Amino acid sequence: MTDTPRPAQQMHHVLVVDDDFQLAEELAAMLTFENCTVEISTNGMEALDRLQGQVFDAIVCDLMMPRMDGESLYRETADRYPYLAEKFVFITGQAARQHGSGNFVARTGSPLLEKPFTIDQLRNALQEVFHD
């Protein structure tokens, strides 16, 4: 009896943008387990630098960050790299929701995860982005 070859799993390249480095590291660990290669940026300015010359399948982005918040990063990315505009998964805490960030995210059509979220919620949001 011969073994049936397993289908090859596609590796996804994901950029995690969050000023909470511990959370970013935890997300990177989870995503690595989910068959992703991960890079971390701690703010929007650093993320823009990483986007130059690299291809990402998804951008997991916090909304509230210093230097450049998630909304500004999205706008800059959509302007410079329009094909990446549909690759965002936004994450936020309660405070960002109260400041109207949910309205912005709804206009983008991107998934929004509220902290704390589960690995299943993250997985589902990424599948939505990967299949666009």
Q: What is the pLDDT of residues 47-80, one digit of tens each?
A: 999 999 899 999 999 999 988 999 999 999 999 9
pLDDT digits (tens, 9 = 90+) for 1-52: 556 555 556 899 999 999 999 999 999 999 999 899 999 999 999 999 999 9
CB atoms within 10 A of CB 102: 16
Instruction: Tell me the CATH number for domain 12-130.
Output: 3.40.50.2300
